Each structure stands twice: as C-alpha cells, then as structure tokens.
Structure 1
Amino acid sequence: MPRRSKMATNERFNSHFTRETEQTRRSTTSCPECGGNLLPANYETRCRECGLIVGEDFLDYGPEWFDSPENSSRRRTGTPLTAGRHDRGLSTEIGWKKDGQGNALPGRKRSQLNRLRREHRRSRWRTKRERNLGYSLGEVRRIVSALELPDSLCEQACMLFRRAQGEDLCQGRSLEGVAAASVYAVCRCNGLGRALEEISQLATCSRSALECAYSAMNTELELPTPIPRPQNFLPRLAATLEVPDEIRHRALELATLAEDAGITSGRRPRGFAATCLYRASHEFGYGLSQQEVADCANTSTATIRAHRDCLFEVLEDQG
C-alpha cells in the first residue's frame, strides 16, 4: 500500500490557510459597500470614497497598571481610589451561594460565609465617626445621582464633606443637611444652575437645616462661591421648556445685555433667566405664556412682568 505524502497535505493546508488570510485581509482593507479604501481616523474606520463607517470600537492594548507620579511601580493595582467611599474604595465584599468560579456552595460553607459576613459587617466601622462618614457619603452619592451630575462633581462633593467633618462642622448639625449642602456648594462653585429648592426637595432634611449647613461651610471653609448669574440657569430652563436653540441663544444675549446694564443686581437670577426666555420666545413667535415660564422657574407671574419691563427699558436704550 503506498504511503500518503505528508508534503502534499501540508501544501494543501498552507494554500487553504493562505486563501483565507488573503480574503480576511481584503475584507478588512476594502469597503463592503463600494469596495473603496478604508481610512482609520479618530478611533473609527470609514471608507474614503462613500464615507461608510465600518468600525467604531477602539480596543486599548496598553498596560493595565495605573501610572502615578508618586509611584513608578508597574504593578496591577486594581481600580483607582475614590473619595466617594469611606474607605477610599478598598472595602471587601463576601459573595452569596456561589464561589469564584460560579459553582454552588454546599450548605455548610454557606453557613460559614453567613457568619463571616455578619462579623465583617460588625467590624466594618471602626468608630462612630467612620460610620457617620459612610452614611453621609452615601447620601451625597444619592443626591448627585438624582440630579444627574457627573462623577467629577460627586468626587468634589465627597471631598468637601470630608473637609467639613475634619473641621467639626457636623457637630450639632444634621448629617443629611451637611451632605446636601456639600452638593449645593459644589454646584455653586462650578457655576451650575441648581436652585436651593431643587436640592432641598431631594434631600432628607428640611430646607432650614440645608441653609444652616451651607452658611457654616461657606463661612468656615471660605468656599470660592461666585455670584449666581442668570446665564447659569438658562440652559436647564430651556431644556425643561423644550425651546429651540435660537431662543436659548437669544435669551443668553438678553441676559448678558441686562448684566452689563446692571439691572440684574439684587434680583433673583432664576426669575430673571425665565424672563429672558419669555422675551426671546415672543421675539421668535414661539409664544411661551407667563404662567408656564413662572411655574418652570418656581416664581410668580408678577416677577416675570416686573423683570420684563426692566428688560424692555434696556432694549430701548440699546436701540
């Protein structure tokens, strides 16, 4: 019986592998619609001729360690530390009913883990101060999530609460009030249009407790709080009223003219921002009613009319 040649088998395998490789390379370098050349740019791959976006996923093939100026070690250190947790994110969680590979645990092992979980929960807080910190930081994260603020502001609010606790500003005051005041202070310092009423409705404390905590933090910590401007409240009011972009841009121009004229001093900025939106909507024929704008800004129609008259005088002087 003649022996089968191994060389022929290897040649057939190599030729088949070469054809598949060439076909794959051709499909990744040509457009599937028009057959044009593909151009990778800005983390996406598009066709040079027809503009079809073939791929837009970017895979990071870099190292998994975190580069730090203080530590040049290239070890896998896990997730970075966060100020939103009382232990900076270094806590330990004990799983339930399954091991690390997803297999079910026997009853004896589950009972042992339940006992370990109970002791771990008891030893989680070393002092009452740390327990208060963990509860308050959870309240800060809840308010920030309800306001749909970015994670960077959440970190700032948590750091501000830590400063307040370090200066003993929590003694004799509500923890919920200090937590809500931290969020409000961060919004004020970053120029975000978040009213005191909006945060007090989400907080689990009274408005007087929130105002008392914010006043103490603003005085003792010397916060760089700028003066609130009508321009800070315009984007949120415009998004709530769902007005077009040209009305929002015109309202910003009106608020800037009023600020340059000095008529916004001593007035409630949220109400004046609503008046600018009301004026801009009538200029473009959108026709927002005074009651609709007043309800959105949590003010009265009399305030809208008073600010409207002042704004009309400024526009007459400019014209």
Structure 2
Amino acid sequence: MATRDIYESGFDEERSNSTTSACPECGGHVRTNCAETVCEDCGLIIDELQIDRGPDWRSVFDDDDETQRRTGAPLTPARHDRGLSTEIGYERDARGNTLSGEKRGQIARLRREQSRGRFQSKAERNLAHGLTEVRRIASALGLSETARDRACALFRSAQDEDLLYGRSIEAMAAASVYGACRCTGLSRTLDEVITVARVSKRRVSNAYKALNSELGLPTAPLTPQSFVSRLASDLEVTDHVRHRAFELAERAEAETIANGRQPSGVAAACLYLAAQERDCALTQASIAKAAGTTPVTLRSRRDELQRELSQ
C-alpha cells in the first residue's frame, strides 16, 4: 500500500494491544491501544492520533439524565439514499423546547424545500417508490430484514439493467420480493405475494421471468419439505405429526412423486397422512386452505403417496 511508503509506522489496526518492542527512552514495556502508544514504565507517548475505528458518540440530555447514543442510523439498502437522508422536526428542537411561531414557519419552509430537493432525477424518484413498495410487501409477508434487503438489492439491479421500461414499478417490486424468497429458500409461493401486491398475477409473473432471465438468479426449485414446517406451525399440530410429515415429504421427493407437482400440495398431502396416522383431527379443507391449494389436489397427492407406501 502507498501508506507504508509515507508513514514510518503502520496504523493502529496493524498493531497488537501488547507488543514486545521496547521504549526508546527507558527500554520499558510498550502498550498500544486504539488512540496512542505509551510506555507503561516512564509514561512516554511514542505515537498518537491514530485512526479510531470505534463509534462516534454524543451526549443526550433527557430528564437530567445524560446517556450516550450512537449518532446516525446504519446504512441500509432498503432506502434510495442508503438511509443518509435527514428529517426536519415540527414543534420542538433537539432539546425538547417548544419553537416559536416565527421559527415554526421557517422550519416549515425548510421542510418544503427539502422535500422538493429530495430526488435528483426521475430515476431516483422511481427507485424510492419501488423500494417503498418492496418494504411494504416484505412487511405484509412477515419476511426478515435479510430477505427484505435482498429484494431491495434485486430491485436496484433491475433498474440498473433497464428492466423497468415497459413494466410497472409495483410489478417489479413484487417480483423482486418473490425472487428474493426463491434465492433464500423461503417457502413463499407466487400466489401469496400476489395477495399483498397491487398488480395482477400476470404482470408479476412476467416481471419475475425478466428478472430471472436477465439477472440469472440463483434460484433453486422449491421442495415439499420447505412447506411442511410452515404448514405445521399454521395448523398448530404436534411435533410427532410434524416429524412424520417431514419424513413423508422426503420420501415423496426421493421417489419422484413430487416431480412436476405443486410443492405446497405435496406438503399438504404429507401433513394430512401424518395427521391420520397420529389420530390428529385435521380436515382436508383446513389443510388445503393453509397450503394455498384445493382439496382435490390434496386427495390426488394423498392417493399417490398411499400407493407408494403400500408397495
């Protein structure tokens, strides 16, 4: 690195907290922390003003109680500006004091100008709208922050590749959420995403096909095992029924029964057979509704499983 040719010593992260080098004055033991290098025997400061990688703090007074808080929120891909934007308050200042009428008018004008200058281009405005839609869909589906950030990153990539031309922002946002679920192995079907999206299934399906073909998403096929745990949790069955249904789902995949079949339908059939074996009162209609399929599909997969088990 160029810094090694400029500085005589390395940065603080290149040094250990306890080094064996001796003090140039007394030959004593030298200790290095994040701020300076000091001799423990004579107190000589050998080096200082090094890079401090620690957090910045500010004092916040709240009801005569001084506390330390981390300044600023962490960067997040879920917002168009990575979370670096600021918000102007309304009636109180940073210390909680009430603003005067003249000051409130001035703050209102500043807030209006900030809102007008928030976006530098139309593309940035579309990005903000799309990421807001992604966050809404992810929240409605109960997805984790990791899946939400993955969906936001997919939407950014889609905009960078000019995939938004001729497609609605809402459809691409829903397709990004579904693509993130497929990439992370989450058991979310396209129909579940459609229920909380604001566009039709055809538009979301076309947008997802464009994402998958243009970006080359590392999606893996959904398996019945990925739906068993969620169905068992929604229907509140016992662990014995859950484990038996998981075993049946593994056997269905091993015997190629699940090939070309709806994974949620196979998982529903496995859960229904496991409930019958463990004398658990579950109806076909309740299981099919939780799986997003029909009782006819459930019975068809059940008959195939029973024929396989009887062999």
Q: TM-score, normalised by structure 1?
A: 0.75
1:181 equivalent in structure 2: 175
- Partners in 1 of 2:252 and 2:113 — Cα distance? 62
Q: Which of the numbers 104, 111, 125 marks the counterpart of 2:105?
A: 111
The 2-side partners of 1:171 and 1:87 are apart by: 22
Q: Distance in 2 between matches of 1:128 and 1:251?
A: 51
Relative to its length, the structure with more strand (as a share) is: 2
Q: How does 1:199-210 map to 2 (within 5 A)?
A: 199-210=193-204
Residue 90 of structure 1 aligns to which amino acid in structure 2? L
Per-residue Cα deviation, 1:262-297 (whole angstroms, up to 9, x for no partner): 111001111110000000000000031222222222
Matched, 1:169 2:163: yes
Counterpart for residue 126 of structure 1: 120
Choose which of 240, 247, 262 in structure 2 pairs with 1:246: 240
Equivalent pairs: percent with the same residue?
A: 51
Q: State yes or no: 1:270 paired with 2:264.
A: yes
Give the counterpart letter for 2:163 in structure 1. L
Unpaired runs of at least 5, structure 2: 1-33, 35-50, 57-70
Return the match for 2:188 from 171, 184, 194.
Answer: 194
| Structure 2 residue 111 is matched with structure 1 residue 149 | no
Q: In 2, distance between residues paired with 1:125 and 1:143?
A: 23
Q: Structure 1: which amino acid aligns with 2:279?
A: G
Instruction: Report how far residue 179 of structure 1 moved.
Output: 0.5
Q: Name the counterpart of 1:40.
A: none
Counterpart CA distance in 2 for 1:206 and 1:72 is 52
Q: What corresponds to 1:96 in structure 2?
A: 90
Q: Separation in 2 of the partners of 1:215 and 1:253? A: 33
Aligned mate of 2:222, from 224, 228, 236: 228
* 1:78 shift after superposition: 3.6
| Structure 1 residues 140 and 257: alpha-carbon distance in aligned structure 2, compared to 1, 3 A threshold | same
Q: Residues of 2 paired with 1:72 and 1:170: CA distance? A: 43
The correspondence of residues 264-303 of structure 1 with structure 2, limited to 5 A, is 264-303=258-297
Deviations 1:70-117 (A, max 9, x none): x97445274321101100010011011111110110000000000000
Tell me the alpha carbon deviations over residues 190-209 of structure 1, each in whole angstroms, 9 at most, x when there is no partner.
Answer: 11111111111101111111
Output one character per residue of 1:34-67: Cα deviation in whole Å (capped at 9) or x when no partner.
xxxxxxxxxxxxxxxxxxxxxxxxxxxxx9xxxx
Aligned residues: 248
Q: Is 1:83 the counterpart of 2:43 in the alignment? A: no
Q: Secondary structure at the match of 2:205?
A: helix
Q: Distance in 2 between matches of 1:216 and 1:239?
A: 34
For residues 205 and 297 of structure 2, the distance between their equivalents in structure 1, rounded to whole angstroms, comes to 24
Matches of residues 6-25 of structure 1 in structure 2 within 5 Å? none
Of 114, 130, 136 in structure 1, the residue corresponding to residue 130 of structure 2 is 136
Distance in 1 (alpha carbons) for counterparts of 2:73 and 2:293: 45
Distance in 1 between residues matched to 2:94 and 2:252, nearest whole Å:
63
Give the distance between the partners of 2:53 and 2:95, measured in 1 at CA. Answer: 30
Counterpart of 2:307, as a letter, is E
Which string of whole-angstrom CA distances, capped at 9 and with x for unpartnered residues, describes residues 298-317 of structure 1? 22222111111110122122
Give the direction of change, closer, same or farther, for the CA distance of 1:90–1:264 in structure 2 (3 Å limit).
Answer: same
Structure 1: give runs of 5+ residues left out of the alignment: 1-62, 64-70
Per-residue Cα deviation, 1:118-140 (whole angstroms, up to 9, x for no partner): 00000001100000101110111
Q: Which residue of 1 aligns with 2:300?
A: 306
Structure 1 residue 145, shift from structure 2 partner: 0.9
Q: Is the deviation greater in 74-83 or in 207-216?
A: 74-83
